[in-house]
Amino acid sequence: MRSTGDPGSPIFEWDGYRWQQVGIASYVFDCAPFRSLGIYTRIVEYNDWIQSIINNCSTTIDIIEITTTISIADNVTTTVKPPVFYPCNRTSTCGCGVVPVVLTPSRIVGGENAVEYSWPMIVSLRLYDKDSHDCGGSILSDSFILTAAHCVDGVVSNPQGDVTIAVGMTNLSDPKLIRRTVDHIYIHPNYTGEEDHNPHDIAVLHLNQSLTTESNAFLTKTCIHRVNPPTLNNQYIRNGTRLTVIGWGTRKSGVSDEPTILQQVEVYAIDFNDSICRGAMNDTEIQFCAGLAEGGKG
């Protein structure tokens, strides 16, 4: 297990008119026939915990109820195709940017540059140096950020850390980016660390000064989802579901290759009953796998 990539960053599913966040990048697992198999925290299992934190501050987040049948691709292919535009419904209160996402649905080693301002819910988390990116995250609301617990676990035990976030940019060196300081960190109480394959790898950060997503076209909240019965939570992200992961993390194993431009890549959910996927996870109820069997993504 290793943290190559961009831990804490969101992974999304396109629902036809906006992007909904279905997971949080936890770690990467290398094992043939998969290369850089991503393990993600399944957000749907934590909606009540997230809402309990948000409610203490008298605000709301956008939880999208899933009521339609999800079509699953049984045979996933990765032939080269032209770029696909994803025009959002701009009346949505979450999950949409002022600029549409343009994604190449083919095998891109390490990902591709995102179109500027197409992912306005993305967050750069800085733990000790406000100019150095450490982990990804997403905007839950004007006052709260969603990320991975293992990104901030060491900071909680070492309060001297000056945790900040940067938003409103695609390029990490953009002088117009917006900074905020984190004044409280909520780590899931059942998180036990990397030695157990990061179970419950989720954290919520509170900002000392609110963002203004409603008045800033280059900021928006992430949408998170709720699954309605009879669908079970661990059945929602099924084998073959097309997903998109974004972040600024290392693109190559064992190589210092940290991009300044936000990277995006299309991956597919991998059946949690697959022996390799199952062996890489702690608990299929709270985690899921995504990647490509031939590798090269994530």
Note if the bond before 189 is cis, omega within 30 degrees: no
Percent of the chain exceeding pLDDT 90 equals 51
Q: Would you say residue 115 has pLDDT above 90?
A: yes
Q: Check residue 243 and give its pLDDT.
A: 93
Q: What is the pLDDT of residues 66-91, one digit of tens each?
A: 433 333 333 444 455 688 999 999 88
CA 273 distance to own-chain centroid: 23
Name all domains of the chain by residue range, CATH numbers in brackets: 10-291 (2.40.10.10)
Burial 151-176 (b: 16+ CB within 10 A, else e): bbbebeeeeebebbbbbbbbbbebee
> Bigger pLDDT: 129 or 63?
129
Q: Would you say residue 262 has pLDDT above 80?
A: yes
Q: Check residue 258 and give its pLDDT.
A: 75
pTM of the model: 0.87
Overall average pLDDT of the 17-27 stretch: 94
First and final C-alpha spacing in the chain: 14
Q: What is the pLDDT of residues 26-67, one digit of tens each?
A: 988 655 454 568 899 999 999 999 999 988 765 556 665 543
Q: What is the pLDDT of residues 231-243, one digit of tens each?
A: 565 667 778 889 9
Overall average pLDDT of the 132-144 stretch: 96
| Helices and strands, number each (H, E), in the chain | 3, 17
